[in-house]
Amino acid sequence: MWLRGISPFILGLMLTQGAALAQNVGNVGAANPTATGTPPSASASHALSVGGAVVHREKIQTSGEGTTQVTFLDKSTLNVGRNSTVVIDKFVYDQQAGTGEMATSMTKGVMRFVGGQVSHTNGASVKTPVATIGIRGGTMTIIFMPGGHLMVIDHFGHIDISNNVSSQTIVRPGYAVEVDGLNVPIGPPFPVPQNILAEAMALLGSKPGQHGGVHHWPDDLMAARYGVGNGRLPNDPANTPGPWTVDTINLGDTFVTNRAQQQQLNGVTIPAPPTNTSRTVMGTTPPPPPPPPPVAGPRA
């Protein structure tokens, strides 16, 4: 065999490098068909399934029906929406020290990042064709708009966006910046239109009839057995999403909200964003807002 001519040292180094390339960085928390992953050493992609491992430098792709969520070892999460492509470029995490680095790249679609421990230490970054985004201690949504424009929405935390000619910083929840090109100056942050949030939520979440890859839903008996309450979630999917909305399948929401509010956002009051706008995420028409409740007239 050809391995006989290789010294034990070189062979060990090769095996160590191979193991590093296939190092697990997290697991799939939800997946709707079709969502696929392609490890760096694989010649073909495989369908993502709940509980499956995600490795260093894996490419994640979704179809027009597919969405997925990846939960990392530090409790960071990525929600990858429909028609999206994301690559896990780097993830290093020291569990004992609680520090590490995270870098991803994104070329199309919609993605929501919920920061875990790594984002509260050295931060995390996302590289796109028109800008590089850094986030520290928070949650953001990145959307590719029609014409190649990019929108970055701050839900919590500190976000820096830069391209070849300028940079902007967002520190207010419910605000965003739009990037029109790699060599086009980035405009100042603005309140996110309500219809953009609604469209992003629709592209990130499950469609009717989809269950995120979960085949057995917990019932009331299971909830009682494990002491899980039956109260409604504050971000009820039946309500129109506002500037504080974070998709309810994100496992890191509570952690990120608490940490970000304590560290950066105490006492900040955010004005309501405008409701009338012509912007759309991918050329789709958002659903109309629900009508206001009827007002009872005076009694005779």
* pLDDT exceeds 80 at position 72: yes
Torsion of CA 198, 204, 208, 213, to 10 degrees: -160
Candidate from 40-49, 248-257, 274-283 with smallest mean pLDDT:
248-257
3-class state of residue 155 by DSSP: strand
Q: Is 49 exposed, middle or buried (0-12, 13-18, 19+ CB in 10 A)?
A: middle
Separation of alpha carbons 135 and 161, rounded Å: 9
Single pTM value for the model:
0.70
pLDDT at 35: 96
Check residues 211 and 153 and name the one with the higher pLDDT. Answer: 153
pLDDT at 56: 92
Phi, psi of 84, deg, nearest 5:
-125, 155
* pLDDT exceeds 60 at position 192: yes
* pLDDT exceeds 50 at position 131: yes
CA atoms within 13 A of residue 141's CA, in its CB half-sphere: 30
pLDDT at 209: 82
Share of the chain above pLDDT 70, in %: 64
* pLDDT exceeds 80 at position 181: yes
Torsion of CA 209, 214, 216, 220, to 10 degrees: -90
Candidate from 19-33, 54-68, 162-176, 279-293 with smallest mean pLDDT:
279-293
Separation of alpha carbons 86 and 37, rounded Å: 10
Confidence of residue 222 (pLDDT cuts 50, 70, 90): low
* pLDDT exceeds 90 at position 63: yes
Q: What is the DSSP string of 235-261?
A: S-TTSPP-TT---TT-TTHHHHHHHHI
pLDDT at 292: 58
* pLDDT exceeds 70 at position 34: yes
pLDDT at 208: 83
Confidence of residue 244 (pLDDT cuts 50, 70, 90): very low
pLDDT in tens, 109-128: 999 999 999 988 888 999 99
Instruction: Using alpha carbons, select from 177, 178, 112 the residue that is nearest to residue 149.
Output: 178
Domain boundaries, the chain: 2-147+193-204
Q: To which residue do tokens 């424009």 refer? A: 149
* pLDDT exceeds 50 at position 276: no
pLDDT at 121: 87
Pairing type for strands 67-72 and 24-32 reads: antiparallel
Confidence of residue 211 (pLDDT cuts 50, 70, 90): confident
Confidence of residue 83 (pLDDT cuts 50, 70, 90): very high
